[in-house]
Structure 1
Amino acid sequence: MHILVTGGAGFIGGHLAESFVEAAHDVTTVDILEPFYDLGLKEHNIDVARQRATETDGSYEFIEGSTTNKELVDEIVEDIDIIYHQAAQAGVRASVENPTKVTEYNVNGSQTILEAARKHDVTRVVNASSSSVYGKPEYLPYDESHPNEPVSPYGASKLAVEHYMRVYNEVYGLPTVSLRYFTVYGPRMRPNMAISNFVSRCMRGKSPEVYGDGTQTRDFTYIADIVDANHSLLTDDSADGETMNIGSSDNIDITTLAEVVRDEIDPTLNIEYTEARDGDAEHTHADISKATELIGYEPSREIREGVGEFIEWYEDNREWYEPLVVSS
C-alpha cells in the first residue's frame, strides 16, 4: 500500500511514517519544515524513517513542501492509496499570536488535500484533529456529542477541518475519518510541551515550571496508542465519515504531573509557577467509547507508566535530544 503522511517530519507524523515503513508499506511524506521548534528534531524523524526503510521491505520518500501548494499536492496524491493528514500549524499559544497563519496552513491546506484525494479516488483520508475543538467543558469526560466551542484559533481551525472532512464524505463520497487527539506525548515529542519541559528542566537540576496555578487537568495519550489507532484505519472502513476521540480515558492535574516527573528524577526540586497562557483549555478528558466500539481502540498506558517510559527514553537519547529541546 502506498501511504502519504502529511506533516511527516513532525512528532506524530514521524512516528506514523516510521511505523508504516516497518509494516512494509511504501511511504511518502511531505512537510514544509516550519521552524516552529528546532528543525533538528524533524530532521531526526526523517532520518529514522529512512533508516527503517533500509531494514524492511517498505520504502520511504521525503518531499519538502506545503500542503497549500495545489500543484505539488496533486502530483504527490496521484499515486497514493491512503492519506494520513497530520500537517498543521501546531500550538495553541502560537495561534493566538498569528491566527492568519493557522487558517492558511490548517484550513486551506486541508481543503487542498481533500480536493486532490477526491480527484484521484484515494481510499481514505485520516485527519488528525484535536481535543482543542471542545473548548470549555459543559461536562467531563468529553464525548463526541459535547458542544464544540474552541477557545483558540488553533481549536477553531481544527473544528473547521473536521467539518470539511465530513462534507467531503457526505457530498462527494470520499471516505474520511477525523481522530481527536488528546495531548500526545512520548519519544521524540516536540519541546515546550508540559512533559518534555518538565523532564528537561529536572534533568538539568532546574525546578519544573507550571503555567498558571497547576489545577488544569489534561488527558495525556502515549504516542504508541496514537499509532495503533491510525493503523487500524488502514483497511477498516467501519469509521468512515466519523469523528472519534483518541485519548487515554484518564486525566491528571498539571501540578501532580510535575510532581510525578520531579519525583522520578530529583525529589529535592521545588515546583515553580508562572503566568498562565492565553488560549489554553482548563480541562480535557476523553470518553473513548466510540473509538473502542468502532475500531477496537484501547489505550495501553496510564500517565505514570508512560511518563516513566519517556524519562527512560530521554536518558538513553539525551546526547542528541536534549540540546534540541533546550535550544527551542
Structure 2
Amino acid sequence: MKVLVTGAAGFIGSHLCEELLLSKDVEKLIGVDFFIGPTPAGMKKDNLFQLLEHPKFEFIRNNLLTMPLDDLIAGTDVVYHLAAIPGVRSSWGYDFKHYVDHNILATQRLLEACKNKSLKKFIYASTSSIYGEKHGSVSEDQLPEPLSPYGITKLSGEHLCRVYEKYFGLPLVILRYFTVYGPRQRPDMAFHRFIRQFIKNEPVTIFGDGKQTRDFTFINDCRRATASVLINDRAVGQTINIGGKERASVLEVLDVLEEISGIKAKRIFFDQPAGEPKHTWASISKAKELLDYNPVTGLKEGLKQEYLYLLNFYRDDKK
C-alpha cells in the first residue's frame, strides 16, 4: 500500500509516519511538508531525522498550494492530510490570510487532485476547535460553533471534504484531535512553553485564570488511533473524536510539572485570549467502537516524557 502524509515534518505528522512505517501494510510512505507555521525549520528537521533513514520513506519539501499534485497522488492508496497552519491566538488579524491559504485553499487543491483517483481512504485531520464552547462531554454530532478564525478554517476544510465525498465518492474519514501533547510538541503550545520556562528558570506565563480545563491527548495514543484508520473500512464516512485519558486544569498541569521538575515556578497571569473555549472534553465512545481506541497514557507520565524530551532539546542554551 502506498500512503501519502501531508504535514509529515510536524508534531503529529512525524509521529504518525513513524507509526505507519511499523505496519506491514505500508509498502511506500511519501511525506510532504513545506516547513511553514510556528514550528522552527530546525525542529522540523529534527522531527524527520529517523524517518529519513527508513528505506520505505520518501520526503518531499514542497508547497501544496503550488506543487504539481497529479503525479504525487498517482498510485496512492491512502492520503492523510495533516498539513495546516495551527494555532488559535495567531489566527486573528492579517495572518488570517495564511490560514485561508494553507487550511482551506491547499485542502481544496488536494481534494481536486484526489477526486477521480481510486483511493481507499482520505483522512482529514481536524480539531476540537471546531466545537467552540460546550458543556460536558462533546460527541461528534453536536453543532460546530468555532470561536476562532483558526477553528473556522478547519471546519471549512471539513465541509470541503464532505462536498467531495458527496459528489465524487471520496472515501473520507475526519478525525478531530483534542489538545495533543508530548515529545516534539510545537513551541507555541502551552505545555511546551511551560516546560521551556521551567528549564530556563523563567516565570511561567498563564493566559486566563488557569482554571480552564482541557482533554489532553498523549501523542502515542493519538498516533496509534490515527494509524489504525489505515485498514479500518468501518471508519469510512465517519467523523471521530480522538481524546485523551485525563482532563485537567492548567493550574493542575503546573502542579504536576513542579513535581516532575522539582522547581517551584513563579506564575504570571495574562488576560484570556479571544477564541479559546473555557473547557474541552471529548466523548471517545465512537473511537472506542470503530477504532478499538483506548488511550493508555496518563497525564503525569505523558508530561514526564515531554519534560525529558525538552530537557534534552534545550540543553543548548542557544535554543
TM range (shorter): over 0.9
Shift of residue 108, structure 1, vs aligned partner? 1.3
**How far apart, in 1, do the equivalents of 2:245 and 2:151 lie?**
20
Q: Secondary structure at the match of 1:251?
A: strand
Q: Is the 8 A contact 1:249 1:285 kept in 2?
A: no
Q: Secondary structure at the match of 1:285?
A: coil
The answer for the alignment partner of 2:264 in structure 1 is: 268
The answer for the alignment partner of 2:301 in structure 1 is: 305
**How far apart, in 2, do the equivalents of 1:113 and 1:249 lie?**
33
The answer for the alignment partner of 1:136 in structure 2 is: 133
Q: Is the 8 A contact 2:9 2:33 kept in 1?
A: yes
After TM superposition, what 4+ stretches of structure 1 lie above 4 angstroms from structure 2?
none
1:1-328 aligned within 5 A = 1-23=1-23, 25=26, 26-34=28-36, 36-51=38-53, 53=54, 58-69=55-66, 72-97=68-93, 98-137=95-134, 139-319=135-315, 323-324=318-319
Alignment TM-score, normalising by the size of structure 2: 0.93
Shift of residue 95, structure 1, vs aligned partner? 1.1
| CA displacement, residues 81-124 of structure 1 (integer Å, 9 cap, x when unaligned) | 10110000111111113222211111111111122122222211
Q: What amino acid is aligned across from residue 174 of structure 1 in structure 2?
A: L
Q: Which runs of 5+ in 2 are unaligned?
A: none
Q: Secondary structure at the match of 2:129?
A: helix
| CA displacement, residues 257-299 of structure 1 (integer Å, 9 cap, x when unaligned) | 1221122213432322123222222111101001111111111
Q: CA RMSD in A?
A: 1.7
**How far apart, in 1, do the equivalents of 2:223 and 2:128 lie?**
17
Question: Judging changes above 3 Å, is the alpha-carbon distance between structure 1 residues 33 and 267 closer, same or farther for their aligned structure 2 residues?
Answer: closer
Q: What amino acid is aligned across from residue 86 of structure 1 in structure 2?
A: L
Q: Which is worse superposed, 162-171 or 224-233?
A: 162-171
Q: Which is worse superposed, 201-210 or 292-301?
A: 201-210
Alignment TM-score, normalising by the size of structure 1: 0.91
Q: Secondary structure at the match of 1:272?
A: strand
Question: Judging changes above 3 Å, is the alpha-carbon distance between structure 1 residues 312 and 241 closer, same or farther for their aligned structure 2 residues?
Answer: same
Q: Secondary structure at the match of 1:156?
A: helix
Shift of residue 249, structure 1, vs aligned partner? 4.9
Shift of residue 41, structure 1, vs aligned partner? 0.8
Q: Secondary structure at the match of 1:72?
A: coil
**How far apart, in 1, do the equivalents of 2:264 and 2:291 lie?**
44
Shift of residue 23, structure 1, vs aligned partner? 3.2
**How far apart, in 2, do the equivalents of 1:167 and 1:244 lie?**
18
Q: Is the 8 A contact 2:80 2:123 kept in 1?
A: yes
Q: Secondary structure at the match of 1:291?
A: helix
**How far apart, in 1, do the equivalents of 2:15 and 2:264 lie?**
34
Q: Which is worse superposed, 178-187 or 241-250?
A: 241-250
Q: What amino acid is aligned across from residue 50 of structure 1 in structure 2?
A: L
Question: Judging changes above 3 Å, is the alpha-carbon distance between structure 1 residues 188 and 323 closer, same or farther for their aligned structure 2 residues?
Answer: farther
Q: Is the 8 A contact 1:258 1:271 kept in 2?
A: no
**How far apart, in 2, do the equivalents of 1:179 and 1:323 lie?**
37
**How far apart, in 2, do the equivalents of 1:259 and 1:271 lie?**
11
Q: Is the 8 A contact 1:250 1:285 kept in 2?
A: no
**How far apart, in 1, do the equivalents of 2:226 and 2:39 lie?**
25
**Percentage of pairs with the same residue:** 35
Q: Which runs of 5+ in 1 are unaligned?
A: none
Q: Is the 8 A contact 1:3 1:82 kept in 2?
A: yes
| CA displacement, residues 113-140 of structure 1 (integer Å, 9 cap, x when unaligned) | 1221222222111110000000111x21
Q: Secondary structure at the match of 2:315?
A: helix
**How far apart, in 2, do the equivalents of 1:314 and 1:205 lie?**
14
